[in-house]
Amino acid sequence: MQFWVGSRGFALALVVAATLFGCAHVPEERGPVFYPPLPNPPRIQYLTTFSKPQDLAGTESGLARFILGDDSTEPTLVRKPYGVAIHGGKLYVVDTRGPGYAVFDLTRNKFKLVPGAGGGKMQKPINMTIDEDENKYVTDTQRDQILVFDRNDRYVRAYGVEGQFKPGDVAIVADRLYVTDMKHHRIEVLDKHTGKTLFDFSQAGSNTGELYYPTNLAVSSDQYLYITDTGNFRVEKYTLDGEHVRTYGEIGTGFGNFARPKGVSLDRNGLMYVVDAAFENVQIFDPEGNLLLFFGGPGENPENINMPTDVVIDYNHSELFQRYADPKFKLEYVILVASQFGDSKVNVYGFGTMEDVDYSIGSAAELNQR
């Protein structure tokens, strides 16, 4: 099911997928998947998925799968991902069961696994953040450290001593590392170069400005820190100096509520994407906290997400993914969503507009004006 929700009311659009059975043995080709579904003005299209090296070669047709065989029953090399990142034409997937991270080189069509070695051997990596020099900061919740790897995936150093924190995610702002500490329910801010603690903020609790099992982080274009407060079923907004600004969401089963929020990301216009591992979807909110759209949902189709954990918005690689889009659908940015279960481990969606479609009315206008 696919739903479109405008902030002025709950306008629902339901798509019922009809499965056709017949005598032909060649698999039926499925059309493009849009959110909201046609005939509504579409804003997001499912593009492709990355779960194994073969996915770099592009999407096979149903006829090719019929002739060459379908290897989807074979174990995927990416087993249970959590975090995802993209930089310099490479897609990085942090695999908690690898353990390590996978690298999909999108321009050279090459794949490799990086488990780390020696002092950099990963035990239970969760998230990855990449800086402008292509250094990777990987949080490891079994080592309780942040491991740093350089542009060539060589181990450089580790931050964190015994008892300091249980790092869930890292956000980089200039020379600071913002770290979610899931053990002490706070945010610890480190010097990026030395790992020295500069300051920390918040504490365990459910009152305003308090956190309970903070997991994921994102920094907006206007330099605010967004924290997925998973244990409190909400997203918190802070200044970079640790001052609480506002709260988004609450526990519930209705539109705009959360059950198990995980990844969070923001586009340049302030639209906030939040993954919910229990609802198994991604919700999109405007800067005022109004729900505009949600997409994904559990299932066995490639576009579905099962136990999703992370969402990343990227403006730098749209051209690499435009070939997966409908010829009339122009991408503005891509959305990466990691799932821990199902065949589709990392799904790529595109945010954009369709030629010859009127985006000036209704709920479509609310997204178009951002």
pLDDT reported for residue 366: 58
Single out the residue of 89, 82, 178, 140 nearest to residue 149, CA to CA.
Answer: 140
Residues 361, 259: Cα–Cα separation, whole Å: 32
Domains of the chain: 3-368 (2.120.10.30)
Alpha helices per DSSP H over the chain: 62-68, 318-321, 362-368
Q: Is the pLDDT of residue 6 over 70?
A: no
Helix (H) or strand (E) holding 265: strand 261-266
- Give the tens place of pLDDT for each residue, 94-109: 999 999 999 999 999 9
Cα angle, residue 54 at apex, residues 50 and 57 outer, rounded to 5°:
90
Q: What is the amino acid identity at position 39?
A: P
pLDDT reported for residue 23: 35
What are the C-alpha distances in Å from 367 to residues 13, 36, 121, 334?
16, 11, 44, 16
pTM to 2 decimals?
Answer: 0.88
Neighbours of 178 (CB within 10 A): 23
Averaged pLDDT score across all residues of the chain: 88
Structure tokens, 114? 């990086």
- Confidence class for position 360, pLDDT limits 50, 70, 90: confident
Q: Is the pLDDT of residue 274 over 80?
A: yes
pLDDT average, residue stretch 65-90: 71
Query: For residues 9 and 285, is the Cβ–Cβ distance under 8 A?
Result: no
pLDDT reported for residue 58: 53
pLDDT reported for residue 369: 54
pLDDT average, residue stretch 180-198: 97
Q: Is the pLDDT of residue 20 over 90?
A: no
Report which of residues 79 and 364 the model is more confident about: 79
- Confidence class for position 271, pLDDT limits 50, 70, 90: very high
pLDDT reported for residue 2: 40
